[in-house]
């Protein structure tokens, strides 16, 4: 919650620091789902700041941590990766993650997730 509050106040470095503390707590508790969400949120903050390499690293870590998660959680880092690569005009990697996202969305009902539409927009 603190990280989100800092983010809403545009205090991105404080938000990142807060998510890093939450990440440490998640690691100590062996809570990989919380750890994955922290990495996802850190990736979004880096993306907002146009720190693309750090954003991609965070999204990849979130994706790895969501490996055994339900599709609704796994699709979030895939979306972040696709958009980050697209923003950087790395179309080869953007397409790779777009295809991964489209594969995941075939298992979702459009009423369950906005990501079904998001990936369609990028096709």
pLDDT of residue 1: 54
Helix (H) or strand (E) holding 15: helix 12-28
> What confidence tens digit (pLDDT) does each residue in 74-94 have?
899 999 999 999 999 999 999
> What confidence tens digit (pLDDT) does each residue in 30-73 have?
888 889 999 999 999 999 999 999 999 999 999 999 887 788 88
**CA 109 vs CA 72, 105, 112: distances in Å:** 10, 8, 5
What domains can you pick out in the chain, each with its CATH number? 2-121 (1.25.40.10)
C-alpha span between 76 and 21 (Å, rounded): 21
Has residue 5 got a pLDDT over 60? no
C-alpha span between 9 and 58 (Å, rounded): 21
pLDDT of residue 105: 92
């Amino acid at each position: 919650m603190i990280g989100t509050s800092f983010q809403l106040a545009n205090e991105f470095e404080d938000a990142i620091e807060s998510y890093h503390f939450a990440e440490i707590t998640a690691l100590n508790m062996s809570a990989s789902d919380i750890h994955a969400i922290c990495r996802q949120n850190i990736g979004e903050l880096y993306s907002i700041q146009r720190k693309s390499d750090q954003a991609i690293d965070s999204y990849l870590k979130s994706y790895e941590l969501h490996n055994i998660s339900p599709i609704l959680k796994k699709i979030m880092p895939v979306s972040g990766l696709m958009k980050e690569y697209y923003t950087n005009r790395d179309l080869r990697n953007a397409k790779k993650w777009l295809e991964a996202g489209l594969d995941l969305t075939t298992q979702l009902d459009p009423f369950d997730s906005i990501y079904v539409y998001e990936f369609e927009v990028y096709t």
